[in-house]
Amino acid sequence: MNFSVNKNEFFNNLQIADHAISSNSPQPILRGILISAKEGQLTLTGSDADISIQKIMKADEKNQLNISEEGSILIDAQYLMQIVKKLDSEIISIEIIDGSLTKFSGSSVVFKINGMNTDDYPTIDFSKPMNSIKMDAAVLSDIIDQTAFATSLKETRPVLTGVNFNLNNDQLNCTATDSYRLAKKTIEFKSDVSFNITIPSKSLNEVRGTILMNAKEIEIAQNDKKAQFWSEDMVLQTRLLDGGYPETERLIPSEFSYTMKISREDLIHAIDRTTFIKNDNMTINRLQCSSDEVILTNKSQEIGESHENLNAVFTGEPLDISFSGTYVMDAAKALRGSEIIVKFTGEMKPFILSCDEDTTILQLVLPVRTYN
């Protein structure tokens, strides 16, 4: 292998592949980026076994890629990124000189780095499944922003660590829940395709950090083992979470006895003010509502208490309800628009946050029981 390339362009492309790599992977081979130079293009592959990214660099005027000898090498991603970033010329050249010993040349600087044997690298099947849809990148970005935060961090029910994508009858439902809260995005989506898959939220965050940065349209292909996110010059592939996703529809109440309207920003600030007052490391807010006033409090034996009159409009009988402030704040942040509508069915019943300006998204939070 022997090629020369524009340093900055190469670095930017390596950064994409590097996203899939965890530097502390127990398998040293997975700490490497696979560079393959073939038929006038570079293919850069990174993988942590759960997520794999393949980035293509076709020779063009900007990257000035020039392959004089085809081949491939696997180099530790950390060293590779350092070297490419720091080489002292605009065009750099990379050449295998002996076995896997690889020479990186700038103008007066040369690095000779021990590569790894490409034969040991796992075979990653990037073949595209038949079943695929195309989606606007901005829509996918919204789905991730508005749901992924609500997935579970605990591995006790692995399927809850992902977002469920359910496409059926021209409707795409994206649902995330950690069983204390739920985020659901519903989009009209005309398609002959249907699927019901759960994608790890970690993978979705990588999708946001890589392919969504540069593409306008994303193709999502899937089978029962994997999902792929394609743009013109890259693919991110992720394993799916096994196990049926719980039926969440029945959790969402449809009749409400109490309604509160409040500025989204005011609600976020009011809760944020009280977050330093913790009980068992949780921020628990109490909301006392009547048609006269809405009061938000937070109390801890050790620290003290907060008390705030919210500028909110409440309709219904007086209501006294407590919840995780962090959950309600997360939900409010994920909604769009300036005003939030909170609908309650009772003091120990789940409640819903939504907004009129974007009816595709619904946030549900379970109250907590307090003893003060």
Residue ranges in contact with its own copies by CB under 8 A = 76, 78-79, 82-83, 86-88, 101, 108-114, 269-270, 272-273, 275-276, 302-311
Beta-sheet pairing, 284-289 with 217-222:
unpaired
For its own copies, the closer of residues 303 and 348 by Cβ is: 303
For its own copies, the closer of residues 100 and 248 by Cβ is: 100
Cα–Cα distance, 157 to 167 (Å, whole number):
23
Cα–Cα distance, 147 to 140 (Å, whole number):
11
Cα–Cα distance, 301 to 287 (Å, whole number):
18
Phi, psi of 164 (to 5 degrees): -85, 125
For its own copies, the closer of residues 247 and 280 by Cβ is: 280
- DSSP string covering 298-326, please? EEETTTEEEEEEE-EEEESS-EEEEEEHH
Tokens of 198: 């759960």
CB of 53 to its own copies, least distance (A): 22
Nearest Cα to Cα of residue 44 among 24, 74, 83, 68? 74
CB of 93 to its own copies, least distance (A): 15
Tokens of 192: 């002959």
79: three-class secondary structure by DSSP: helix
For its own copies, the closer of residues 107 and 359 by Cβ is: 107
CB of 370 to its own copies, least distance (A): 18
CB of 276 to its own copies, least distance (A): 4
Cα–Cα distance, 184 to 207 (Å, whole number):
19
Beta-sheet pairing, 351-354 with 304-310:
unpaired
Whose tokens are 């359910």? That residue is 166
Handedness of CA 140, 155, 176, 343 (dihedral sign): negative
For its own copies, the closer of residues 270 and 355 by Cβ is: 270
For its own copies, the closer of residues 235 and 289 by Cβ is: 289
CB of 309 to its own copies, least distance (A): 4
CB of 308 to its own copies, least distance (A): 5
For its own copies, the closer of residues 69 and 276 by Cβ is: 276
CB of 272 to its own copies, least distance (A): 7
